[in-house]
Chain A
Amino acid sequence: MADQNQNNLGRRQLLVRGAKAAASIAAAVGVARWLYDPKGPGAKNEEVSFLGTLAKGLPDFSVPRKDGQVISIVKGQDRSKTVSKAIELLGGIERFIKPGDVVVIKPNVGFATPPILGATTHPDVITAVVKLCYEKGKAKKVIVTDNSINDPASCFTISGISKAASAAGAEVIMPRDSYFSPLTLKGGSLIKDWPIYCAPFAKADKLIGIAPLKNHHRSAASMTMKNWYGLLGGRRNVFHQDINNIIAELAMLVKPTLVILDGTVTMMTNGPTGGSVSDLKKTNTMIASCDMVAADAFGSSLLNLKPADLPYLAIAEKAGVGTVDYESLKPLRAEVT
């Protein structure tokens, strides 16, 4: 047929071609309909973004309060002994960790400096706490993570934290861009739709913050509350313009199970980086606390400061985070040798 009528399509060919044409038109219209955006990009629709992020947030990791077992202060040089004793005084790790829990430990791994310089959480404390979580707390998994200031891989390696955590059986998680999601703090004025390091905490049951005790030129002292600065992503340094409020807001945002403040050595000068052993002073104190404000208020005394020198303490207390007057909490004290 086709060779008889070379200039005309056969009926069959015509139908096939017609069907193909119709399908192409339908596909084009369909794609156009599907992608149709009549308005174009408008002003940023904050509501949508807030709805999407408010729901997630950070879980509340805290455990029920027990009066008289809020804060413990242990004197001694051996970090593994003092930290164990401090936790024991608060009721033991069993009070905080339930069998099968996933525990996240947030040390300060801000700088790529060796442990001897005291700018980062000491690996001995990490080892001791990870072991406690596994052995006595029967935790399922312990994760150690931080969003460092210097290069994260270098920080975790040089600080000795990577090695200590892995040796004790914990998983070390390095920050990645995809682990951050925007969060808004209810009642806050600074943390608004700001990227927060969330992913490692999303599926955890408990959170322990472990901070070294350091001088800090801008906020006077970097302790357990300032340690949460590591959760901020993006170009977080803009918040230094209002350092006291951002520290207080972070303390409102994060509700840890327990915080540990390591004042075995204290960085008295040149903080928070240090860089020389001459910046350090032996203060032989380990603090464990369910109340960050109280821990930091006590910690300020080791830096020869008064709580009033740290305005973020009062702001946080006003917001209900904790108690500045730590003596009113009747700290449990002990000494180990």
Chain B
Amino acid sequence: MKITTVRRINQLFFFALFVWFCIVATVGDKFWQIRNWPINWILQFDPLVVLGTIVSTRKFYGPLHCAIGVVILTIIFGRFFCGWICPFGAIHQFVGYIGNRGKRIAEKIRLNIYRKAQCIKYLVLIFFVGMAAFPSLAGTLQTGLLDPIPLVTRSFQLVLLPIFDRGTYLTSVNARYYEFGWLILAVFATAVLLNLAIPRFYCRFICPTGAFLGIISRFSIWRIGKTKSECINCKMCERACEGGCEPSGNIKIAECVLCFNCRDDCKHDLIAYQTVPSLAGETQVDVSRRGVVLSFVSGVLAAPAIRLSGKVASNWYTGVVRPPGALAEPEFLKRCLKCGQCMRVCPTNVIQPAGLEGGLEVLWSPILNNRIGSSGCQLNCVACGQVCPTSAIRPITLDEKRGLGDFESAGPIKLGTAFVDQGRCLPWSMDKPCIVCQENCPVSPKAIFTKDVFTTVRDGVVSIKQVTSRTIEIDRGIPADKFATGDYYVLFEDGSRCKISSNTATSVGISEGKVPTAVGKIEIQVRLQKPCVDIGKCIGCGVCEHECPVSGKRAIRVTAEGETRSTDRRLLL
């Protein structure tokens, strides 16, 4: 079998594995649901994830150890990850192949020439590393924006699969929603469509992971190269060169993605995978020192520049309510890859990719939007922390989340606090009974309690005309049948109250209590239970916000005040 065939099978295998892991990132007990599938494998293989988190946190997080294998293999063999494993690379290679199929050979060779602009990806990498490297708490990990593995993961998990699910219900019971999904799709589609202009555009010009692997492949023991310095210069080796690394001449070894197409295409067997450098010459990473310094310094300065908005300080955006187990915001931003695994696995769909309101660095990181999904953050669920590849959301246990067992003294994890918007709340401002929020509060005893009051309804003071048995006829018209719901009462002049059991346009009936006197005034009152939040008990799960019948801007909303993970948003004494 030709080595390019082996490579294609390998690419297909890892792409299929990747799609499979995307599908199984669904809570449930069927074989295609999460169970024990290692859904983070490919993210954990990603060397840039390791590099980024090491630079930002100055620690090497254990579960990412697989990536060290990729680094070691790259040092020995070169950029095999790009050409053989990366699912995003496989997509680019396939689309580039399809898009340029009909072109003449000379045209294809022209498309695959080495371009000076391929050094941009190194500058992207160095810029992101600079951002992550900023000392103290201001460093921020933004590699996930362009790192191909988180990028392709979030594109599949939050956009492609949910679109595919519409109407087919293959991986979820009901339609999933992801705010800002369109922007994720736009980035993905742009990256894929650029292959029609230049094959593997993203890999050649943008990919920071490829850049990192290109840099460390300089010591590789084996590399692609010519076995003779001179040849007839037919350039057939560049007909399908994926890396654009110029194998016909002075090969740019850091650009080579080990596709082996050149070796296959050389009719004269002059190209080999060998230990000696190409006899036609070899060039390492081609990037200027000035470029390196400039992008690193820009990155280092970009980190505090973004923080000038104050979004990670006193000006924090109220929509940033993080999933249970999330680290304090500065630590969180040093780890979150924006890969979307937590958002996909969340059974209620409440975890959403953030937009730009929370600041640039919060983009696509997980926040809770209680208006989306089937039910706030469920009390008995810790799925998001279990799948987070970098522990930006810690893998907490149910006991820790709920403050049981060993965690009793620490208490439950609070995501924030619910606030009643009295101006929008039906009992508080519109004299309508409701308390859906109280009913659905999952905490025991409930964090929402009610203040019970009787309020006279609009135009509710009427004079008694006549009394027959338990029916009071009144002097003025009232809406018929409106007050016999069990929530309305008659208040007599002596201060006593009776529940209204029937009413017509000119009378009210009471079923129990005293028989009223035939003179004087009565007041028609409604019994209201006005919801109040006990901030000591509220865990900020957002079920109340989800259920509130005021469907637009909810009359009870959760914001991050009082969240366990930070001290500066504390509310309770």
User: Is B truly associated with A?
Assistant: yes
Q: Which residues of A contact B (CB under 8 A)?
A: 111-114, 149-154, 157-158, 174-177, 189, 216-218, 235, 237-238, 240-245, 269-276, 278-279, 308, 311-312, 314-315
Partner of A217, one of B175, B379, B439, B551: B439
A151 to B381, CA, bound (A): 11
Q: B371-406, CB under 8 A of A: which get 1 and which 0? A: 001110011110000000000000000000000000
Chain A residues contacting B549 (CB-CB under 8 Å) are: 235, 237-238, 240-241
Cross-chain contact B435 with A217 (CB below 8 angstroms): yes
A217 to B433, CA, bound (A): 11
Cross-chain contact A217 with B438 (CB below 8 angstroms): yes
Pick the 9 closest A-B CB pairs, nearest first: A311-B486, A275-B444, A276-B444, A237-B549, A244-B486, A151-B374, A150-B375, A151-B348, A237-B436
CB B539 to nearest CB in A, in angstroms, measures: 11
A247 nearest CB neighbor, chain B only: B486
Cross-chain contact B445 with A270 (CB below 8 angstroms): yes
Chain A residues contacting B440 (CB-CB under 8 Å) are: 149, 273
CB A32 to nearest CB in B, in angstroms, measures: 30
Partner of A154, one of B175, B381, B426, B512: B381
Q: Which residues of B contact A (CB under 8 A)?
A: 27-29, 169, 173-175, 347-348, 373-375, 378-381, 426, 432-436, 438-446, 450, 481, 484-487, 499, 501, 511-512, 529, 543, 547-549, 551
A242 to B436, CA, bound (A): 12
Cross-chain contact B442 with A243 (CB below 8 angstroms): no
If A158-B380, A177-B174, A217-B435 touch, whether A152 touches B512 (CB-CB below 8 Å) is no
A314 nearest CB neighbor, chain B only: B501
A157 to B547, CA, bound (A): 21
Chain B residues contacting A276 (CB-CB under 8 Å) are: 444-445
Chain A residues contacting B443 (CB-CB under 8 Å) are: 275
Cross-chain contact B435 with A218 (CB below 8 angstroms): yes
Chain B residues contacting A235 (CB-CB under 8 Å) are: 549, 551
Cross-chain contact B486 with A217 (CB below 8 angstroms): no
Cross-chain contact A308 with B439 (CB below 8 angstroms): no
Partner of B27, one of A154, A217, A272: A154
Chain A residues contacting B433 (CB-CB under 8 Å) are: 218, 240-243
Partner of A150, one of B374, B444, B486, B511: B374
Name 21 interchain pairs, CB-CB below 8 A, sorted by A: A113-B380, A149-B375, A150-B375, A151-B373, A154-B347, A158-B380, A175-B174, A218-B433, A218-B434, A235-B549, A241-B549, A242-B487, A245-B485, A270-B445, A276-B444, A276-B445, A278-B444, A308-B511, A311-B485, A311-B501, A314-B501
Cross-chain contact B444 with A273 (CB below 8 angstroms): yes
If A151-B378, A152-B374, A270-B445 touch, whether A240 touches B28 (CB-CB below 8 Å) is no
A240 to B512, CA, bound (A): 24
CB A265 to nearest CB in B, in angstroms, measures: 15
Cross-chain contact B548 with A237 (CB below 8 angstroms): yes
CB A120 to nearest CB in B, in angstroms, measures: 12
Chain B residues contacting A113 (CB-CB under 8 Å) are: 379-380, 442
Cross-chain contact B379 with A112 (CB below 8 angstroms): yes
